[in-house]
Chains A and B, each alone.
Chain A
Amino acid sequence: MVVVLGIESTAHTFGVGIATDKGDILANVNDTYVPVGGGIKPTEAAEHHSKVAVDILKRALKEAGIGFDRIDGVAVALGPGMGPCLRVGATLARYLSLRYRKPLVPVNHAVAHVEISRLTTGFHDPIIVYVAGGNTMIVTLVEGRYRVFGETLDMPLGNCLDTFAREVGLSHPGVPKVEELALKGKRYIRMPYIVKGQDLSYSGLLTYALRVYKEKKYSLEDICLSLVENAYSMLVEVAERAVAHIGKNELTLTGGVARSKILNKKLQIMAQDRGIKYKPVSPEYAGDNGAMIAYTGALAFAKNIVIDVEESSIRPMWRIDEVDILWRE
């Protein structure tokens, strides 16, 4: 068994987790940067991360009740994400690796979302719907890698709803607030519904929803109902296409938007109609967190995936399908 400390800093959350490759989460301490107005500015988020980093690290070690002597490796999410944010986590990881002479383990943030979902659902070989502020994709393991069976061609789903929320004056994060209003909506307004093969496009839907809002012909509740209905149904349709095509019998939802009640209900209904099992990631691990980096790092470290500090530059565009998943035979 190995114990790994993991650092997350790809976007708005800075987190440190400690976990074993057997799936024990010993610590999970996170702090999320909330923008005062507008969206996340990478440099401001990075500033937040450097301010909280040391404190979060100390709290994580305290939560786990262990010192660095018990830690076998330091994992860090090198990407995908925002450059300035990634650099904070990478710098801390390099320092800890050199200072305590611990091997450095590179972790892909998207892979970590998948692994934490497998761990908390108990699913062995699921089809994974990964939806967050920065990502929208459907993946599953084929020949040693998580292959992308569908993804957004432009903006991520979470970003679409967050941006809409912001533009109509709802505060960040917008998804829960948009959903709350959607549940009060009564009338469905027809909006763009764009599925291209296995891929999705959300930018046109966002533009249209904002235009309808500015026309002031419909209530905000009805607009939210229609926006959410289209955004989620598009995703569920593509997920259903993946399920029909791949033929696996487990389906999971991971990433920040996995807390969405409406999306969960839709996926649940689809899974039931197709006779497959459905379970989302545990809510506490839905958003970005240090524990998922630590756990994935532990899986990787157990397979000797380590890098030298010299090779540890950040990888802002690192795709999920570039990573060999050596821990799954």
Chain B
Amino acid sequence: MEGIAARALAHLKDVIGLENPEILSVGAEAVLIKGIYAGETVVAKFRVPKNYRHKELDRYLRESRTVLETRVLSKSYLIGVSVPQVVFVAVEDGLILVEYVRGEKLKKTIENNDHYVKEYFLELGKNVGLLHSHGIIHGDLTTSNVIIREETKEPVLIDFGLSFFSTKNEDRGVDLHLFLRALESTHPNRSSEFFTEFLEGYKSVRGRQETEKVLEKVKDIRSRGRYVKERRKTYWKM
């Protein structure tokens, strides 16, 4: 663990001269480092080379994911989704620098019984609806990947590491399915309530008809072979 982080720190100092580096997290795919770049507080996402993968596959995955994530982030920002702004990119290094968003993770605010939790889910639903309307799939929607911005209290979507462009309802369905599953495992007692609120926001952007099409897919995905009977019943109200 320390090995990965140390490698990342040394690399960042050499490559871009990040000042006051501070490790935020050592994730599965990347190391997140907070620091100062050109006078601005940023978060550097560094995709660490994986020793277990074939070199060619590893380089391809790191570069293509860095490019894709940058494109998705920039487009999301342009269409008005609440995401961190991109500051700097170095594709061959697997490096992206984005604006540092001050605030708590949605997961934390739920655990703290924040009074406005339901509003956050409503807003989040609108943001994800906007993404889906513009052919963007987040790919890793969880309550850990949403920060409630301290100054404005708006939910900011982060970690577009598994995002991609698609206008297929199947992909939108998988996006919502994974989000619902994350809610079920992380907040089992309130998952239905949160998801219903989220859908309210989603529907307000995408319209009832489009939303129902995606939800049909979610039902479909949940009823495929490997999911229990219990999951075949409807978990949301519309």
Contact = CB atoms under 8 A, between A and B. Distances in A.
B54 to A, nearest CB: 5
Interface size class of A (residues with CB under 8 A): 20 to 34
A172 interface: no
Given A190-B60, A319-B228, A269 B51 contact: yes
A224 to B, nearest CB: 13
Interface string A250-287: 00000000000000011101100111000000000000
A153 B224 CA distance: 8
B62 to A, nearest CB: 12
A273 B4 contact: yes
B178 A270 contact: no
Given A229-B53, A229-B54, A233-B52, A196 B162 contact: yes
A229 to B, nearest CB: 5
Q: Please indicate which of the listed interface residues B50, B228, B229 has the most CB atoms of chain A within 10 Å of its own CB.
A: B50
A233 B221 CA distance: 25
Nearest to B221: A153
Contacts of B227: 319
Interface string A186-214: 00101001011111000000000000000
Contact of A244 (B26, B52, B54, B140): B26
A274 B224 CA distance: 34
Given A244-B26, A244-B27, A188 B61 contact: no
10 contacts: A152-B226, A188-B56, A190-B56, A190-B57, A190-B60, A230-B57, A233-B57, A237-B28, A270-B50, A319-B227
A197 B162 contact: yes
A216 interface: no
A85 B229 CA distance: 22
Interface of B: 1-4, 26-29, 50-54, 56-57, 60-61, 139-140, 162, 174, 178, 182, 185, 221, 224-229
A151 B226 contact: yes
A275 B3 contact: yes
B178 A245 contact: no
A54 interface: no
Contacts of B52: 233, 236, 265-267, 269-270, 273
A59 interface: no
B228 A317 contact: yes
Nearest to B228: A319
Contact of B53 (A147, A197, A233, A317): A233
Nearest to A271: B52
Nearest to B164: A196
A193 B162 contact: no
A243 interface: yes
Nearest to A241: B28
